[in-house]
Structure 1
């Protein structure tokens, strides 16, 4: 199944997105609803809250007075942390139960208001963030929910800001316009990304990315890599393996095809088969069939074996190279990246070569550039640079 984390600031319209996804066929797990269940009258969760904050947070019927509790915790960060320590483990356990009960081909959407704040983003295949201008959110909270404006401002301030949420987002849905416009965006996400992603994930199939003509430099590539690396790290835990951003998208300012190259280093390449393959596939990075090796530098330098994985997500192409630590291929990927990062002139030469090759063979998408003789010469320059600077991988 595909696990999607859905979040957004209070008043952003996250619930409207969740409702539309359910209409399209998603299985919704609402963290707020579960949070109410785990503190229902007679529950161990409610008893622990009373022990921490006294019976002043109960109403006349002995149920949790959420307004009274909110007044306590939203004005006191330590109190909010204490509450989260009581409720979050219980919410996670119940969420796991509901997820396990969903059909194997489901798109399971977890509506989690504090997904970013509690660091849950790497646990999902995809994170969707709903955002709206703060002024719009305040207006909705005051006009629609009848909330006091000062209280609404405090609640917004207590959550992650938009920049932090965007950094965790694979998809951002902007909800400053009409409900119809929001539904149109959600429908497109469902048809073009979520459904194909689920099918690819279930079949352990690498997505075929949409063809994009030309190459540009995207300043968000490092942020996108960081999300991928966090997801991979979570999938491979408790193993603490070195993960690096390599390839053209790891060099600032370099125009390249929109594919993120990720390198995972193993003590022994034989460990790349078996459990590691399954873990990566389950996280959305299925193995690419076949025998894979890097072009040796200089040419004729023997076989540089590796394992290659791709992305099941049609919206984010990835080449995940699994190489043995201290192997020539592992070292070469880091050396060329750092050499180009350090030398603007060599970056310019690389860009010129890429343009020439694309102009000469526009249908090749730059895939054959690593076999160009220029790379043999550049490897020698990189080795000279490494010797002069004392570079180590």
Structure 2
């Protein structure tokens, strides 16, 4: 089952995207609709709201008067938090029941108005954000909804900013064209990413990564992507002590293969093995064999005593997830190497030169095994002794857990 969180600013076109995803076969869970359902007459939710705010929030028929409730909580942060504390857990529980009943092979799309504000993105395989320029959204609200401009801008200002939504997005759809154009973009996303991603999650396999090593970037969004993925990995199982961004994409300004390397810290190899089902369900299954593709981290998990390697089931985002024991040599080396290159630009330049040299040697390869083999030789002969010297001189010590 693939779980997609859907978010969009008012008048950005989120409803149109949600409708198209449902037409394509997604199971759509609308949190707004659930929020109304859980406070229907006779529900525990409505009783809790009345207990908290009084009978004045009911209309003459005993139903929730939303305008009256809004007047009570508007401008009062404590009352707003109290209301959210009643309604949000009920909505999440109902949404979880709906998702559980959808079937193992389903693609679940959950439309959550406060997805960004409440930090729920880590609970989804992907967060899809629909956006449009503010002026276009104002135009739509005034033309299609009869709102005046001041009210439209006030509604926009009350929501998460465009920058906050973009920071939370794994996929950003810009809805600046016709309805047909945004539907076509949804179709492409569905067929090229969501459907194969879901198939890989169900089958617990990594997405293939064919082709030779190609250095890209540096991309300014690598750090943000790593942060979102790390949050999902931590959310997958509480036994994970930490998740660190390592490898070349963790070095500011460093061109790299477009693969996010992360290191998950655990207490033992037994824990690393026990985590495998939870990581697979989160979209990061155990990689077959040792290395299906080359890591950007210089310390590959080449044997059963060195850690466990997981990859990404997402065909749109390649990830190497190194699950290693806190304090082990490879765990320590990955963190030290990253910090060394961040601190020493000359060494980062030397590493980049070697990567470019080796990538050129293997430009005609169908995979990356030769690239990682030759790059590893540079690390052993050139980098490792200098890294040991730097850690001693700098007094570098790894994190303590």
TM-score range, shorter chain: over 0.9
Aligned partners of 1:35, 1:287: CA distance in 2, in Å?
Answer: 38
- Give the 5 Å matches for 1:97-108: 97-108=97-108
1:278 aligns with 2:277: yes
Answer yes or no: is 1:337 the counterpart of 2:342: no
Matched-pair contact (CA < 8 Å) for 1:266–1:272: yes
1:71, distance to aligned residue in structure 2 (A) = 4.1
User: What is the CA–CA distance in structure 2 between the aligned matches of 1:137 and 1:66, rounded to whole Å?
Assistant: 25
- Residue 231 (1) aligns with residue 232 (2): yes
Change (3 A) 1:124 1:203: same
Q: Deviations over 1:21-69 (max 9, x none)?
A: 0010000010000001001122222222233333443333332222333
Within 2, Cα distance between the matches of 1:114 and 1:345? 45
Partners of 2:163 and 2:270 in 1: CA distance: 41
1:354 aligned partner: 355
1:216 equivalent in structure 2: 217
Q: In the alignment, which residue of structure 2 is the partner of 1:66?
A: 66
Question: What CA distance in whole angstroms lies between the structure 1 residues aligned with 2:218 and 2:340?
Answer: 18
1:70-112 Cα shifts (integer Å, max 9, x gaps): 3444443333222211110100111111011102111010010
- Following superposition, the deviation at residue 225 of structure 1 comes to 0.5
Match of 1:287 in 2: 286
Q: Aligned ranges for residues 10-159 of structure 1 at < 5 Å?
A: 10-159=10-159
Q: CA contact under 8 A between 1:261 and 1:318: conserved in structure 2? A: yes
After the TM superposition, which of the residue ranges 63-72 and 118-127 deviates more from structure 2? 63-72
1:312 is matched with which residue?
A: 313
Number of residue pairs matched by the alignment: 388
2:392 to 380, 387, 393: 387
Query: 1:359: how far off?
Result: 1.7
State the shift of 1:180 in Å: 1.0
- Within the alignment, does 1:196 sit opposite 2:189 as a pair? no
State how far apart, in whole Å, the 2-side matches of 1:260 and 1:228 are: 9
After TM superposition, the score normalised by the length of structure 2 is 0.90
Q: Secondary structure at the match of 1:349?
A: helix
CA RMSD of aligned residues (A): 2.4
Measure the CA separation in 2 of the matches of 1:58 and 1:260. 52
CA–CA separation in structure 1 for the residues paired with 2:196 and 2:123: 20
C-alpha separation in 1, matches of 2:71 and 2:201: 43
Is the partner of 2:109 in helix, strand or coil?
Answer: strand
Is contact 2:4–2:109 with CA below 8 Å preserved after alignment? Answer: yes
Higher alpha-carbon deviation: 150-159 or 346-355: 150-159
Tell me, in whole angstroms, the C-alpha distance in 1 between the residues paired with 2:304 and 2:347. Answer: 27
After superposition, the Cα gap between the structure-2 partners of 1:150 and 1:132, relative to the gap in structure 1 and judged at 3 Å, is same
